[in-house]
Amino acid sequence: MGNVRSVSGANGLKSQVVEILTPQKKPSFHLWFKILLGLVFLILCFTLYSGSLTWTTSPLKGHYHRFLNWTNLLEVQFPDKIHPSTTVNLREIEETTQSHTEVPTALPTAAPTGTLYHQAYARNYHFIMNNPEVCKTKTPFLILMVPVAPGNLEARDAIRQTWGNLNLVQGEVVVTLFMLGVSKEADVQQQEKLQQENLQHQDLIQSNFIDSYLNLTIKTMVIMDWLATFCPTAAYSMKIDSDMFLNIDNLVIMLRMPGIPQVNYLTGMLMWDRPVVRSLDSKWYVSEEMYPDPSYPTYTLGMGYVFSNDLPRKYVDISMSIKPFNIEDAYIGMCMKKLGLEPTSPPNPSQFKAYAGEYNRCDYSQVITYILGSAKNLIDYWTDLKKPGPPC
């Protein structure tokens, strides 16, 4: 019933047009004159919308918005089904007309009934599973947020047995949480399993967006909104992928080094002047409509980047004015650019590594990140690294 109400204004406007254009018996001159005036009025309103700022104060603006919100509902609920080579319909409806003070101060408690600001704006979505008390009982130095597919229990369990099992590192409180969306193949049984998993570990956060590769920007912005809403007191956060080896000791040691900023700080493996991929065959394809510039601003590779915990709220707020695209780490780079900030190179850039060759205990004892091939690799390498004796 909520959807019906949300488009009632649009339907009312449409019915007026239909009624006007419906042939009547022996129409009088006055009737035809009224018809003509009605058509001129509609054309004038459309013209104002297309080319004039006065549309923002037009009484028909609300009807138009409700109509677009209704047509956008499927795009919000199933955005991954729209191929990026099409228009994607990322309508930034309120981007230039709403004031900053009108931003919702809390997450919605019901499924979205249309796009607010744009498709990847985090507050279009709501949490269907949460652990809001995590940062109320303790103040973490570092929050590790791991985006992971709902069905990837193997990766979550491997992390729980290794770097995610540490709650106190170098004397600092560390919390690890997993961020999930909703699987397209989700059923009641899978959701019940996730509920039981969360009851056991109390480390799952689930939102109602469709969990897919094309929706990683949505997933990342939902992570940022959770941090801003439920854990603003943490000092630092890290978004780290579920296929990563993380030397958590080295990370905390780095963050405690003198001179590491406590605000406006983003670091990791920096990417400079990366060209936008325009090949339709690439998983990193981005259309010119979504991102017209030929290259991205400086950003940190999405495998694992660290940031001071004042930034999540700033990212969510500034994202209202940034058209979304499906390369999540570059999108965070755009948020930094829009904020007038730049990512910072880590004190030792060689500690943030992507792919490794063969496992080497000495090497793994000195890095912060490595991309791994499997959950079994993570358990095997971690077990070997933590065995007694010097690693080098």
pLDDT of 254 strictly over 60: yes
Q: pLDDT by residue (tens digit) across 59-116?
A: 333 333 332 333 233 233 333 322 232 222 333 323 322 322 223 333 333 344 567 8
Q: Mean pLDDT over residues 161-174, rounded?
A: 96
Asked whether 352 and 346 are in contact (CB, 8 A), the reply is yes
Q: pLDDT by residue (tens digit) across 294-342?
A: 999 999 999 999 999 999 999 999 999 999 999 999 999 999 999 999 9
Average pLDDT value for the chain:
79
- Tell me, rounded to whole angstroms, the distance of Cα 78 from its chain centroid: 15
Asked whether 270 and 343 are in contact (CB, 8 A), the reply is yes
User: What is the C-alpha to C-alpha distance for residues 385 and 363, in angstroms, rounded to an integer?
Assistant: 10
Name the more confident of 138 and 86. Answer: 138
Residue 357 has a pLDDT of 83
Amino acid symbol at 191: Q
Q: Environment class of residue 58 by beta-carbon count within 10 Å: exposed (0-12), middle (13-18) or buried (19+)?
A: middle
Q: What torsion, rounded to 10 degrees, do the Cα atoms 342, 346, 349, 354 define? A: -80
Residue 138 has a pLDDT of 86
Angle between helical axes of 328-338 and 311-318 (0-180°, round to 10): 90
Best mean pLDDT range from 69-73, 101-105, 119-123, 161-165: 161-165
Asked whether 115 and 159 are in contact (CB, 8 A), the reply is no
Asked whether 275 and 295 are in contact (CB, 8 A), the reply is yes
Domains of the chain by start residue, with CATH: 138-385 (3.90.550)
Q: Which residues contact 51 (CB under 8 A, 6 or more apart)?
A: none
Amino acid symbol at 184: K
Residue 355 has a pLDDT of 84
Residue 213's nearest CA partner among 291, 279, 282, 121 is: 282
Asked whether 243 and 371 are in contact (CB, 8 A), the reply is yes
Asked whether 333 and 343 are in contact (CB, 8 A), the reply is yes
Quick check: helix, strand or coil at residue 239? strand
Residue 10 has a pLDDT of 34
Lowest mean pLDDT among 38-42, 104-108, 137-141, 268-272: 104-108
Asked whether 336 and 379 are in contact (CB, 8 A), the reply is no
User: What is the C-alpha to C-alpha distance for residues 334 and 312, in angstroms, rounded to an integer?
Assistant: 14
Residue 114 has a pLDDT of 65
Name the more confident of 114 and 212. Answer: 212
**Length reported for the chain:** 392
Q: Mean pLDDT over residues 235-255, rounded?
A: 98
Element (H, E) at 147: strand 142-147
User: What is the C-alpha to C-alpha distance for residues 178 and 180, in angstroms, rounded to an integer?
Assistant: 7
Written as one string, the DSSP assignment of 37-87 is: HHHHHHHHHHHHHHH-GGGGG-TTHHHHHHHHHHHTHHHHHSGGGS-TTS-
Quick check: helix, strand or coil at residue 291? coil
pLDDT of 46 strictly over 90: no
